[in-house]
Structure 1
Amino acid sequence: MTAAINFPGFSPVALDLGFFQVRWYALAYIGGLLLAWWYLNRMLADKWWPGGPPVSKKEAEDLVFWGMLGVVLGGRLGYVLFYKPAEYLAHPLEILKVWQGGMSFHGGLVGVTLVIILYALAKKRSMFSIGDLAGCAVPIGLGLGRVANFVNGELYGRTTDVPWAVIFPHGGPIGRHPSQLYEALLEGLILFVVLRLLFTRTDLRFRPGALCGCFWIGYGLSRITVEFFREPDDFLGFLWMGASMGQLLSIPMVLFGVWLIARSRKTLPASAQPA
């Protein structure tokens, strides 16, 4: 077998003051939040919207704040419901201990989606247009989060003898796929670049729901692909027909994304044609 790379001696704690610790995963959340806010402001520039942007910059700021709450609450509840329902039902107070880890992207996505729907109804805005903006910005946080997973040495891949295999501290003495970095590349960088090009080089931003649909499809396919290299959760293993929980939860995402794009073909507003 090819010699594997020993995991660098990263600490999950970025700053330790004794009475208070700052973890890399928390910094990834904060960094993703700030960068998403900055990027949303850039997307709302007048040059991209001849008929005016779908939301104001103040509304985008509010959405980032409420969206963050949706990510945390939805991510935690999704993890509880999708992965360990019996364990947390037996000890419900454990649900509140978010600092111990245990977040689900799919749960966080549901939380953000509910925030978008409720905000759009309250402000009388298009939930599909807001979803487009959110979908373009989300890969920033996804990429940072996956890098933080790698730094933490968690959610590692299956055993392999590829030259870039990594021996993780809790993964035994055999080299494994650094699947966290695969996800950071696919769900983060590549998906961000693709959506950026679709936003700036095509008229999809004038078709409410189209870019959001591209995000749902892009993430779903990326997650399904990476799950072939990622070690399944030891308390779940492989499920229906050998698929992992991540794959099963991503299939509906792809189908929903296809529906969003199909729907958007019929909803191009006449007043929002590109200049």
Structure 2
Amino acid sequence: MALLALPFPVIDPVLIEIGPIAIRWYALAYIGGFLFGWWLAKRLVATDRLWPGGKAPFAPAVIDDAIVWAALCGILGGRLAFVFVYNLDYYLAHPAAVLAVWEGGMAFHGGIVGAVVGLLIFARRNSLPLLPLIDLAAVVAPIGIALGRLANFIKPELWGRVADVPWAIIFPGAGPEPRHPSQIYQALTEGLLLFIVLLLIARSGGLKRPGLVAGCFGIGYGLARSFGELFRQPDPQLGFLFAGATMGQLLSVPLVAVGLWLVLRARRLPA
């Protein structure tokens, strides 16, 4: 047990409240990730030298609609996965709470599936190549992840396991023991670090091999998430599962496998 622990920096989860309208940090995380992703994806599409043959496969204006499909389907997929995989018993007893997304409760692995399905529908409706759209989504997604993890810290929720490190924090609602600020670990690894790596890959020719950046995202996020789960307190309704792994680690296995397949497939394509 740590002899010293940092106090939790209490931050009101509601940034602004005007009458019945409350703007929460949690909502701002999604809005910020959406706006930054939209801006960066358009910049990447507008840079022809990054794409095969020196020309992007679609106009920057395509991103305006594509990101809406990815975001809405991603939120839907993330919420449904959280309800059915992480907390089904609770939502069966409280069905109205399924719609209360402002209270938190998203499963990122489900969000990935939802976003891919949304982009698949969009690509087919508009006769566009799917993999370049997914590559763009992969580059910008980690920023939303980072902001979301910071929102988890502010709330606070999804705190870490009991720790004796000097920077351990006593979280409100988590008992008297100091704990790892695992939300910050995940914001830095799944978010900031992964974003920097993927952006460098994209800007150094990765977008010329469709699926390469998306594959690197699958591998990178899966490994970073599995690492972060070593410090994060398992969900109380699930606990530790097969061989002591958490649900987040188990769901990352197929993500890494698909990522490896995409990378191997992309490497056989001409640059």
Kept in 1, the 8 Å contact 2:13–2:24? The answer is: yes
Q: Are 2:74 and 2:118, in contact at CA under 8 Å, matched by a contact in 1?
A: no
TM normalised by structure 2 equals 0.95
Q: CA RMSD in A?
A: 1.3
Task: Give yes or no for contact 2:42–2:61 (8 Å, CA) kept in 1.
Answer: no
The within-5 A match list for 1:9-28 is 9-28=10-29
Deviations 1:70-111 (A, max 9, x none): 121111101011112233234433322222321111111110
**Residue of structure 2 equivalent to 1:219:** 221
Tell me, yes or no, if the aligned pair for 2:11 and 2:154 is still in contact at 8 Å: yes
Q: Percent identity?
A: 49
Q: Partner of 1:248 in structure 2?
A: 250
Partner residue in 1 for 2:38: 37
One of 180, 185, 188 as aligned partner of 1:185: 188
Q: Which residue of 1 aligns with 2:152?
A: 149
Number of residue-to-residue matches in the alignment: 268
1:78 aligns to what? 81
Residue 117 (structure 2) aligned to one of 98, 114, 118: 114
Secondary structure, counterpart of 2:238 in structure 1: coil
CA distance in 2, matches of 1:72, 1:129: 21
Separation in structure 2 between the aligned mates of residue 55 and residue 199 of structure 1, nearest angstrom: 16
CA distance in 1, matches of 2:102, 2:146: 20
Q: Distance in 1 between matches of 2:122 and 2:212?
A: 19
Cα deviation, 1:150-183, whole Å, max 9, x if unaligned, reads 1111110000010110111111111100000000
Counterpart position of 1:163: 166
Residue 238 of structure 1 contacts residue 244 of structure 1 at CA under 8 Å; is this kept in 2? Answer: yes
User: Which range moved further: 155-164 or 48-57?
Assistant: 48-57
> Is residue 197 of structure 1 aligned with residue 169 of structure 2?
no
SS of equivalent to 1:76: helix
Q: Is the 8 A contact 1:140 1:189 kept in 2?
A: yes
Contact 1:54 1:130 in 2 (8 A): no
Instruction: Classify the secondary structure of the residue corresponding to 2:15.
Output: strand
Q: Kindly indicate whether residue 114 of structure 2 is the aligned counterpart of residue 127 of structure 1.
A: no
Q: Which region of structure 1 is more displaced relative to structure 2, 121-130 or 93-102?
A: 93-102
